[in-house]
Amino acid sequence: EPSTGPMGLGRVALPEEIAAWDIDIRPDGMGLPAGKGTVAEGEVVFTERCATCHGDFGEGRDRWPVLAGGQDTLTDERPEKTIGSYWPYLSTVYDYVRRAMPFGDARSLTNDEVYAITAYLLYLNDIVTDEAFELNSENFTDIHLPNEENFIADDRQEEPHWKADADPCMTDCKAEPAKITMRARVLDVTPDSDEGEGGGQ
Amino acid sequence: MSERDQGVKNPSRRALLRGGLAGGGAALMAGLTAGKSIAAGDPAITDIQDWNRYLGDGVDAAPYGMPSEFEADVVRRNVAWLTADTTSSINFTPLHALDGIITPNGVCFERHHGGVAEVDPMQHRLMIHGLVEQPLVFTMQDLMRFPRQNHAYFLECAANSGMEWRGAQLNGCQFTHGMVHNVVYTGVPLRALLEEAGVKTDGKWLLAEGADAAAMTRSIPMEKVLDDCLVAFKMNGEALRPEQGYPVRLVVPGWEGNMWVKWLRRLEVGDKPWHQREETSKYTDLLANGKARRFTWVMDVKSVITSPSPQAPITHGKGRTVVTGLAWSGNGTIKDVDVTLDGGRNWHKARIDGPSLSKSLHRFYYEFDWDGSELFLQSRAIDELGNVQPTKDALRAARGENSIYHNNGIQTWYVRADGVTENVEIS
């Protein structure tokens, strides 16, 4: 069936086609598939499919992402941003695991496995404490992550420096000559830096 | 490397840098202008060169041409320690070696979350569904039957300069500012595709999704969608490169690069944002008070001097010197760029040359006579809304050091008396 739009281009998408691709989930639960999984079931799947990179307890191996812990570190010098400490919505966990994980084998988990992994991630982050806890499409939106309320709208334009005169100082703007306070050269973490001041010379 | 390449492949400036010669550029100039070789005539002139004598390649040697081998250093580079794996990673445009405003396709920086999807265009589909009158599927051939537009836009990664929040870290504008490129896109207004499906009145948001293994998704407000977003299939006149989303990508002018979904396959209209991983865990900006900004879409006014810079030191000694760089703003055009040689004590109006296009890179120049003393070079851009590029200190005062994204602070290059140039922060 062709498009009925002004150009008459494209064709009508079939319900089966939309169902095959429409896997996104919103915080209000829109898009959640039927299904369920417990913490204990999640531990088994996580250990098999996830722990190689993310560690048995979501602590992250090597440079792979840390998934659990870090609560109350967001004002630290080095915050640990995890599902438990930073993410606002559980829907994002289910959505992202189902769409993009395991890394290199995306879309290979069943809906129930994703519920189970999500339940296990709640457990690793101390948001549920019972290994028998079952997460399902019915109770999903009852769960709230600790950092949900700490996201704010983009208010960059309220920052004081943007209120500065749009015709900035051109002459004799500073009393003292510039002094170096930090040098990248000292850190020496730039690729090819043995060749000089960075790659590409 | 052939024998004839040796002299150019390892230019004197490279040896100069390694040796750290006293007198630096001056010594080099003396060698070229007053040395023995000149007394007998410059062999570059007096000798017959191979290319004066022998025939070069025929027209069938390079059906798709590549740059001269002497430009082999003008390439994308990655920084291995930044990410766990090269398939969810970043590389950097060699800004220090480019000029003008158009980035050559082959050196446009890459950012993937699941590697480069190799999509067969015949098997590619674009679906529109959700709060529309008629959900639709388009083939690539369908997309190319819509009226097209051409626009030059910059695409800047939200994390460009992100490693510099705590101070000077990477030595080269390729690394500190190279998550940006600027090409001419050919595509179809997203608005035209949505009109084909018919957006319902409660359709306020659009979810865009890629066909790669990361299935990248972002929520975009309908005002932006209907304003200037494109569904693009060409860059700089040719098909998108695979690493830039072949066969089709989203173009979201002025907004953070993450939203420019590559290998675009699905557009869902909804009444609320989706809060996907790339707009919650990532691409949210943590402030010093523990709150985090979300939906920080616009890339603010920014500039950088690309030469001199750590990878492009001054090698010609004292005298006439060209300072050049790039300026851009997600709010529109660049009105002015100021350049300082003394760390911001005194500023000079730079010369913007070439097209001044909205949400596109602008090229600026400042020419002066260098007396050989050390310099603290900075550039400061002002966009058409009057936004003045802030210092890094001003940004840190407002945000702390853990925002990761949206660092548009003024960059300082320290030019030593020998012409060697460093990434520094100054008081």
State pLDDT tens for residues B370-412: 999 999 999 999 999 999 999 999 999 999 999 999 999 999 9
Pick the CATH number of B302-424 from 3.30.497.10, 2.60.40.650, 3.40.50.300, 1.10.540.10: 2.60.40.650
B77: closest chain A residue by CA: A199
A189: closest chain B residue by CA: B170
Q: Which long-range contacts (CB under 8 A, 24 or more apart) does A11-17 make?
A: A11/B136, A11/B137, A12/B134, A12/B135, A12/B136, A12/B137, A13/B127, A13/B128, A13/B129, A13/B135, A13/B136, A13/B137, A17/B127, A17/B137
Q: Tens digit of pLDDT for each residue in B83-106?
A: 888 888 999 999 999 999 999 999
> What pLDDT shows up at residue A200?
53
pLDDT band of B25, cuts 50, 70, 90: very low
Q: Which residues of B touch A170 (CB under 8 A)?
A: 338, 346-348
Q: Which residues of B touch A88 (CB under 8 A)?
A: 275, 280
Q: Tens digit of pLDDT for each residue in A170-198?
A: 999 999 999 999 999 888 888 875 444 45
CATH 2.60.40.650 domain span(s) along chain B: 302-424
Give me the CATH topology for the region B77-293. Sulfite Oxidase; Chain A, domain 2 (3.90.420)
ipTM summary value: 0.94
Q: Which residues of A touch B75 (CB under 8 A)?
A: 200
Q: Would the pTM count as exceeding 0.90?
A: yes
Closest Cα partner for A79 from B284, B87, B278, B177?
A: B284
Taking 3-state DSSP, the helix, strand and coil percentages for chain B, each rounded to the nearest 5, stand at 20, 30, 45
Amino acid identity, position B272? K
| pLDDT, mean over chain B | 92
Flag the least confident range among A2-11, B157-166, B319-328, B410-419: A2-11
Q: Which residues of A touch B288 (CB under 8 A)?
A: 75
Closest Cα partner for B326 from B132, B174, B19, B100?
A: B100
Q: CA B182 to CA B382: how far, in whole Å?
A: 19
Residue B163 at interface with chain A, using a CB cutoff of 8 Å: no
**CB-CB under 8 Å, B192 with A100:** no
CATH 3.90.420.10 domain span(s) along chain B: 77-293
User: Best mutation site among A61, A180, A193 for testing chain B: the one with the most B CBs within 10 Å?
Assistant: A180
> What pLDDT shows up at residue A77?
95
Per DSSP (E only), the strands in B330-388 are 334-340, 347-349, 351-353, 362-370, 375-383
**CB-CB under 8 Å, B135 with A13:** yes
Per DSSP (E only), the strands in B211-263 are 217-221, 230-235, 238-239, 249-251
Q: Which residues of B touch A190 (CB under 8 A)?
A: 79, 170-172, 175, 310
* Phi–psi pair at B144, nearest 5 degrees: -80, 0
Q: How far is B198 from chain A (nearest CA, A)?
A: 7
Cα–Cα distances (Å) from B211 to A88, B134, B190, in that order, read 26, 22, 18
> What pLDDT shows up at residue A165?
67
**CB-CB under 8 Å, B402 with A79:** yes
Tokens at B298, concatenated: 């616009």
Q: Which residues of B touch A96 (CB under 8 A)?
A: 276-277, 281
**B39's torsion region: left (phi>0), alpha (psi -120 to 50) or beta?**
alpha
